[in-house]
Amino acid sequence: MSNETILVIGSCGQLGTELVESLRGIYGDNNVIASDLKASDNPVFEAGPFEVMDILDKAKFEEVVKKYKPTQVYHLAALLSATAEKMPEFAWKLNMDGLFHVLDAARDMGIIKKVYWPSSIAAFGPNTPRINTPQFGAMDPTTVYGISKLAGELYVQYYFNRWGVDTRSLRYPGLIGYKSAPGGGTTDYAVSIYHDALTTRKHHCFLNPGTVLPMLYMPDALKATLDIMHAPAENIKIRSSYNLAGMSFGPEEITAAIQKYVPGFSTEYQADYRQAIADSWPAVIDDSRARQDWGWKPDFDLDKMTVDMLENLKKQYPQNSM
C-alpha cells in the first residue's frame, strides 16, 4: 500500500474530512492529497498536502494529476439531494461533469489506477421495493441528485467494461458522524438531532414521524469504503454500485434512542419539501451482495451509534453536558 498516492476531491465535506484522516493513517500524510473548492482551516488537513481545485476546471484537475501522480482518486464532490433540488441544472453539471473529468483522466492519462465514486440510496425511486430493496431492480429516482447518481452508476460501470478503468462504488445510506457537518441532504436531520439533544434539548424535524430511512454510522462508512477499495479486483463483481446497509429508523425512533441518555429531550415535527424526497427512497436495504463479495458487515446499530455520538459530542458542548 505504501506505493500509493491518493487524491481526494471534495475533501472538506462530511465524508471527505473523515476519509482524508483515515487514508493518511494508512498511506502516510504526504501520500494523501486533500482538495476542495476552498482552503480549509480545519486542523485535520494540516498534516499533508492540500490543493484548492474546482473539479469543473478540467485543466486545473489534470495539472494536479500531473503534479502528484495519484494512483487512486476518491471523487466525493457533489451537490446532495436537498441542495440539488434548489439548483437542479447546476447540480447535474457538477455531479456529471466532475465525474467525467475523473473517469476520462483515469482512462487517458495512464496515472490513475483506481477510482472511488459514491452513489446513494437516492438512485432508487417510488417503484423500487422499499423493504429489503434488492441490488438489482426498478430504479426510477425522482430527484436530480438521484438521477445523477443512477447515471453515474451506469457510467462508472461503462468505463470499467469498455476501457478497464478500475471503478468502485457504494450506494451509501444517510451518513451520521460527529466530526463534520452534513452538506445539504435529506438525511441530515439524523446528525443535527444529536447536536440539538446536547444543546437546546429540542429538535425541529423536517420529516414526519414514521419516515424510515436507511442510515450508516461514519466509522462503518469509512470501513466499507476502504474495504471495497482494498478488495482484490476479482471480488468486485458489481461495477455499478453496491447496496450498503447499517440500520434503518424513523425520526421518532432516533428520538427515543436519544431520550434513553438525554431525559427531557423532545422532537417537534414540521415536514417540508424534503418529505417528498424521503418518501421516494427505500426504508431497508438488502446489502447481501456486498457481504458475499467482499465481506461487508456493519458494526453499529442505532443504540450503539447513539452512545458513541453522545459521548463524543459531549466534548464539543462541555457546558451543556449532563
Instruction: Indicate which residues carry an active-site annotation.
Output: 145
Q: Does 73 bind ligand AKB (CB under 6 A)?
A: no
Instruction: Identify the residue among 7, 33, 65, 80 touching ligand NAD (CB under 6 A).
Output: 80
Q: How far is the CB of 80 from ligand AKB (least distance, A)?
A: 4
How far CA 115 is from CA of 7, 16, 64, 125, 222, in Å, comes to: 10, 15, 16, 26, 16
Please, which residue, 94 or 198, has the CB nearer to ligand NAD? 94
Q: Of 310, 278, 116, 91, nearest to 188 (Cα)?
A: 278
Strands 72-75 and 114-116 turn out to be parallel
Output the smallest distance, CB 143 to ligand AKB, in A: 8
Instruction: Figure out which of the listed residues 56, 96, 154, 307 binds ligand NAD, where binding follows CB under 6 A.
Output: 56
Q: In the window 112-171, what residues touch ligand AKB (CB under 6 A)? A: 120-122, 145
Q: Please give the residue whose beta carbon sits closest to ligand AKB in the complex.
A: 185
* Number of residues that this document lists for the chain: 322
Nearer to ligand NAD, 118 or 298 (CB): 118
The span from the CA of 22 to the CA of 32, in Å, is: 10
Name the minimum Å distance from CB 184 to ligand NAD: 6
Nearest to 99 by CA among 167, 32, 163, 33: 167
* Residue 95: HSE in the Cβ half-sphere, 13 Å Cα cutoff: 28
The residue (of 262 and 282) whose beta carbon lies closer to ligand NAD is 282
Q: Does 185 interact with ligand NAD (rule: CB under 6 A)? A: yes
Site membership for ligand AKB, residue 186 (CB under 6 A): yes
Residue 148's alpha-carbon distances to 38, 105, 162, 213, 303, in angstroms, are 24, 20, 20, 20, 33
* Residues in touch with ligand NAD (CB under 6 A): 9-10, 12-16, 36-37, 54-56, 76-78, 80, 94, 118, 120, 172, 174-175, 182-185, 187
